[in-house]
């Protein structure tokens, strides 16, 4: 190797080292920038999380308006004995000349019997049965695939207990009943209706115990007007 070649080799190596150092410096700069950005992003995320925590805390501190009006009942018994069912229905609702049919299984009357809230099958054509009733009828449309509908039932049971003398309360399972969906134009679950004086009112859709006006407010408005 001559001196010129040797010099070129040294220059080449120096150039490589210089480039390597520049790359290292650039890399460290990127890491530092990324760390700063990450810290800022972390602060934003943490801030949002803290805000969310505070919001949740505020919600938890708020009292559900519905719970201030109604005491939920977690579960109730279902009466299936035909003789007892007939006796309760004759005592609680109007039957008229309607004929019972095992094809009608969607509707359950929620009522107080012997000091407790129970459910009783109403095996009559529902629209015709509604027309027979002298008292207002509150009914909630539910389905077994709807979690909000499931969550709402304890409040429906509580309403049935509190308004036992003023309302007939029912739940209508539309899980396998397209006829009910079409008849009442159901789009959301749960959906609440109140039938009074041959007029049907849709009084609420969905379930929100913090809603204002509440479900009970809507019921009271129709009962008192």
With a cut of 70, say whether residue 225 has pLDDT above it: yes
pLDDT given for residue 119 in this prediction: 98
What's the CA gap between 127 and 168, in Å, rounded? 14
What's the CA gap between 49 and 57, in Å, rounded? 12
CATH label of the domain that carries residue 80: 3.40.30.10
Contact at 8 Å (CB) between 72 and 89? no
Does the bond joining 213 to the residue before it have cis omega, within 30 degrees of 0?
yes
How do strand 168-173 and strand 107-113 relate by DSSP bridges?
Answer: antiparallel
Do residue 84 and residue 36 come from a single domain? no
Do residue 42 and residue 118 come from a single domain? no
Closest CA to 95 of 119, 120, 121, 131: 131
Do residue 185 and residue 150 come from a single domain? yes
Lowest-pLDDT range of 1-5, 174-178, 204-208, 217-221? 1-5
Q: What is the pTM (predicted TM-score) of this model?
A: 0.72
Mean pLDDT in residue range 115-125:
96
Residue 201: enclosing H or E segment and its boundaries? strand 199-205
pLDDT given for residue 148 in this prediction: 96
DSSP 132-156: H-SS-EEEEEE-TT-HHHHHHHHHH
Q: Residue 146: which domain range?
A: 68-224
Do residue 145 and residue 177 come from a single domain? yes
Q: How many domains does the chain have?
A: 2
Do residue 219 and residue 147 come from a single domain? yes
With a cut of 90, say whether residue 47 has pLDDT above it: no
pLDDT given for residue 62 in this prediction: 62
pLDDT tens for 199-224 read: 999 999 999 999 999 999 999 999 99
């Amino acid at each position: 190797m001559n001196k010129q070649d040797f010099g070129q080799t040294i220059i080449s190596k120096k150039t490589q080292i210089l480039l390597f150092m520049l790359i290292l410096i650039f890399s460290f700069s990127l890491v530092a920038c990324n760390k700063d950005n990450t810290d800022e992003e972390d602060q934003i995320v943490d801030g949002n999380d803290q805000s969310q925590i505070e919001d949740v805390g505020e919600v938890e501190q708020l009292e559900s308006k519905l719970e201030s009006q109604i005491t939920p009942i977690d579960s109730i018994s279902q009466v299936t004995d035909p003789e007892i069912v007939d006796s309760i229905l004759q005592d609680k609702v109007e039957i008229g000349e309607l004929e019972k049919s095992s094809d009608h299984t969607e509707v359950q009357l929620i009522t107080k019997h012997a000091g407790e809230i129970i459910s009783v099958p109403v095996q009559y054509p529902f629209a015709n049965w509604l027309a027979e009733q002298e008292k207002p009828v509150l009914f909630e449309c539910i389905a077994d695939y709807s979690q909000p509908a499931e969550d709402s039932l304890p409040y429906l049971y509580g309403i049935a207990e509190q308004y036992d003398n003023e309302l007939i309360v029912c739940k209508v399972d539309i899980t396998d009943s397209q006829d009910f969906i079409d008849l009442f134009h159901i789009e959301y679950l749960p959906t609440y209706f109140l039938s009074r004086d041959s007029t049907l009112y849709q009084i609420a859709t969905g379930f929100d115990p913090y809603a204002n006006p509440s479900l009970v407010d809507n019921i009271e408005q129709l009962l008192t007007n």
